[in-house]
A and B are shown apart, each in its own frame.
Chain A
Amino acid sequence: MPKDDLKTGYRIVGTRPDRPDGLDKVTGRARYGADISAPGMLHAAVVRSPHAHARIIRIDASKALVLDGVKAVITRADFPTGLTGEDWNLQENTIAGDVALYDGHAVAAVAATSKLLAQDAARLIEVVYEVLPHVIDVDAAMQPDAPVIRAGTADHSVPEGMHPNVVKYIDFGHGDLEAGFAAADLVRAQTYKTEATHQGYIEPHACLGQMGADGKGEMWVCTQGQWYIRRMCSAVLGTDASQLRVTPSEIGGGFGGKTTIFMEPLALALSRKAGGRPVKLVMSRAEVLRATGPTASASMDVKLGMKADGTLTAAQVNFRMQGGAFIGSSPVGEALSCALACYTIPAVHHEGYEVLANRPKAAAYRAPGSPMAAFAVESLLDEMCRELGLDPLAVRLKNAAREGAKASYGPTYNRIGLVETLEATMAHANLKVPLGPNQGRGVASGFWFNHGGETSVSLAIGEDGTVTVSVGTPDIGGSRASLGMMTAETLGIPYEAVRVNIVETGALGVNEPTHGSRATFASGLAAVEAAKQAIKTMCARAAAEWGIDADAVEWIDGAAAPAGPNAGKFPPMSIAEIGAKMGSTGGPISGHHEVTAGGFGASFGAHVVDVEVDPETGRTTVLRYLVVQDAGRAIHPAYVEGQYHGGAVQGIGWALNEEYVYGADGRLQNTVFLDYRIPVASDLPMIDTVIVEVPNPGHPYGVRGVGETGITPPLPALANAIAAATGARLRSLPMSPPKVLAAIKAKANGQG
């Protein structure tokens, strides 16, 4: 259902060609983080704290260093001092200083001539700890008796009198809250909790780093952003960013978790200490789960006011989130900003606290903060619809945010597609499928801002008229294809005539990572502009040859042609002809575009899930799943569907299975995939999708960015479906079989 403000009828945009890296990826040739070796290479292993909170009294590496083949051991003493702000956080998280702040926190690292030797040596490094009291739960960390993780961390936003673990405070809103609640026929308030989950990319973090005593270095690494790796490693090591050349490998999933550093500076520091020999460092799965970016855990209060006809009159949210032992790592600000973004409500107020806990430093995870917020708000909305006997989708449509309305986070919305998304959802056949006993249907909406950001793209015309595009955003889910398609569309040449390369940090200006659903949006926008620049040059070359004014030449179907009969009668000059003689017509032809891209457009989604809950075991089976989301424009619809599928299934995992389980000792209990259970093929049905296209006016092809919104609605949609199936309302995640069973029993005993 395109609502086109922009041109339609594209040659390539909207088709489904093979992805350019497909062949490498089905034959095993694609090279990921751990797949590269270098001459003289050493292997590294990391010593990690077994305690959630402990003072490091002494590190003795003498037994490791006497082993033949052990080349270097590093501790925090090998890193510069005096860092501040987020740089200090990154350094402290890379390798602990005086205190280990969570189970799995790195305290030392060793490089040796083989992987097994490095692991043996790591076990011989003796660390003496003084165990300190710890706190894991976000609400517990705010209590007056909670152990103080790091006094003085709180920023200027925190009102006086709060526990030192409360490090940020946010509040915003508009309208008269009291009047709004007074105008409601029904006011309800509830508290919700979500546990931390991990991005769960299948490829563990891996890098190969080399650095000499002169501070010049190179790194091969699986990352969402090679310039972030460069800047962050350089800050942690005290070296110059431009002296480190970072090449991104193929990346085996990221979902936000590979937008930052965790162990990369260790490889470089070990290399520097081992005479500049390259050092390979590959995490184990347990290291990934213990020490890399989970998302925050959350505790959330929501209060909504609704009229009998479903009109929302007021909303108040209060969220508490921990993002580990480091300030600025929780997505509480994002969670608040997303919480009520789907609705137009006259009075809203948001309040949030970021809290420190003895957990790993949280990293971004797909629409950071939005899934938790949606779980709380969309669950309560559903409860109130049921209480008032209203259709939950009709209520969402009645209150839907739309163009010209004031967003819950302040500004006025431009063109957005929530109404179209909800209408498409309500029209879908899945809603008419009858349900049987123990089955229930749940719906929910979701929102993500999307992002533009720093972007630099170059494009070069080859001698045969084919084109290479150099981009800085690693391809996680098919962006080479979408970028190649937009470039080919703009140039009027075949898709196959374009090669898109993801390049190293020396080849372009600074690029932000592939994050914020921005690769197809921002690199696409820059690639289109770079192509237009090259077209201008090619038209000028043709004009010079024809002896006419450059303005009298236009670009049609991959060739320069006189613009109208007055410009002169010349046959079109193709890109291949122009490329073949460019050396003698003024030199190589390229296009380049650099921008901090604004103009990104929010993407809204709505999900509908049918479940069956086994009343004997509490196990939830997903019978049917529908994702409807506004893509703006689907450049390559198959990869847009892929994002919808993947987001939905990650959300299903978060809703039903996944959680960080801590023991009383503060140690993570589930550090392997057997215990940290992500969805498997037999858990799921096919995922139905509808791509709504309300083009984003801020992009030449209308792209909004589709990667993140899809993980947002599943959490509440599943809770709402389980409530419909069982009558039991679960307000904490995950809704694992024991918890669902307990809720069903409590309901039967009249406690629900």
Chain B
Amino acid sequence: MKTEEKNSIDLFNLLYKYGTIFVILATILFFSIFLDNFMKFSNIINIFRSVSIVGLISLAITMSLTVDGLDLSAAAIAGFAAVIAAKFMVIWELGTVPAIIVPILVGVIVGGVNAFFIIKMNISDLLATLSMMFLLTGISVTFQSGTAIYNYMPLPNNQGMAPGVLTDAYLFLGKGTIFRIPVPVIIMLIVALFVFVFLNHTKYGRFFYMIGSNQEAAKLSGIPVKKYKTIAYMMSGFIAAVAGLVLGARMGSGEVSAGDPYLMDSVAAAFIGFSVFGIGRPNALGTILGALLMGTLLNGLVMMNFPYYSQDIVKGIVLILALSLTYYKKKN
């Protein structure tokens, strides 16, 4: 009787810790049996590339999650950054460097504004960043009166052709490769490594997690909660803007509200990340694995000619499974 109970707990713990990994491996195994070219090196690279945008935005969201927040504006910041970059190069001909620096600065500032409304105005994280999401999406539509910004576009009121182009250096961020590895993948991995080291191996990371698990306790132990929350949102804005630059370079244009569709997948990836290795809290490695799980599913299902709605069904089931693992454990 006793041993049996112990065994079942062990099995549960095992499932809890490695359940998500198990799901990922099972997915890979399934596809590699049924699809000839699934395990080709080029396809593995392709999966990484396909999740680079979701990966980066979910890392941005992860930063906000560590301080018990939730940055819903991250995807909109990404879309906004892509439009600003395109406007700088195509319409204003200001060159690559400002087209990269300014969107990133804007991302950081937007993060700061988010934090201001959350901390000073006492609006909940969800609502403050939701409002910011609408605001940014709206502004990015008005930016070029509803149309995308792209090379050789005609200007309104018969003012001829747009003078500038998206520079090769900028496009390299989305289309380039280094030793056969696509640049978006490299950027995602660098940012992931940075977030990982920051959260797990610096005292700031520890403070972030302390704020996230118990804000009152953190405050009582002398951690400047407001300051670190602000920093967390600014970092979220920073990473989201980087995601936007990669997105714009990959598409080769500044598309209107291009970031928005990545929001839900990114939130899902960040939450799947909780369950990886049974960590039970936001973390960089889990987030990237969460993004990769969804990218792998999409990749295989596309190869199998599944239409999008069936992909969504599978995605939903996987998310429910991963979240059940996390929250069932927490409850007990």
Bound together: no
